[in-house]
Amino acid sequence: DVKVTQSSRYLVKRTGEKVFLECVQDMDHENMFWYRQDPGLGLRLIYFSYDVKMKEKGDIPEGYSVSREKKERFSLILESASTNQTSMYLCASSLAETWFFGQGTRLTVV
């Protein structure tokens, strides 16, 4: 009963490429989040959305953008990938205090 699905588990991209990370949830949640997870730094919020076509910057939005055209899908876009964006990316969705995470996408930028 997978509830939050990220399109890729592993991605390798070249510096300067435009990268799309997709996240889909099937729980009709209004809130969706993109986090970056690095050792010792925990979960850092990149962007979040509380409704279709709505987006809010998190703590580290630089170099990223997002798109939420449909309620179930929240996309993270790296406009021009750089090596310092090599990381684990986690998507989450929530309704009130009920949260679910995707399985994560490990992105390597070479």
Partner 1 sequence: GENVEQHPSTLSVQEGDSAVIKCTYSDSASNYFPWYKQELGKRPQLIIDIRSNVGEKKDQRIAVTLNKTAKHFSLHITETQPEDSAVYFCAASIGNYQLIWGAGTKLIIKP
Q: In the complex, which residues of this chain contact partner 1 (CB under 8 A)?
A: 4, 30-31, 35, 40-43, 48, 50, 90, 94, 96-97, 99, 101-104
Give the residue with the Cβ less far from partner 1, 6 or 75: 6
Give the residue with the Cβ less far from partner 1, 85 or 94: 94
In the complex, the smallest distance separating the C-beta of residue 41 from partner 1, rounded to whole angstroms, is 6
Tokens 């170099």 correspond to 63
User: Burial, 34: exposed, middle or buried (Cβ in 10 Å; 0-12, 13-18, 19+)?
Assistant: buried
Whole-angstrom distance, CA of residue 41 vs CA of residue 12:
22
Q: Which residues, 6+ apart, have CB-to-CB distance to 37 below 8 Å? A: 43, 44, 87, 88, 89, 90, 104
In the complex, the smallest distance separating the C-beta of residue 42 from partner 1, rounded to whole angstroms, is 4
In the complex, the smallest distance separating the C-beta of residue 89 from partner 1, rounded to whole angstroms, is 12
Give the residue with the Cβ less far from partner 1, 102 or 109: 102
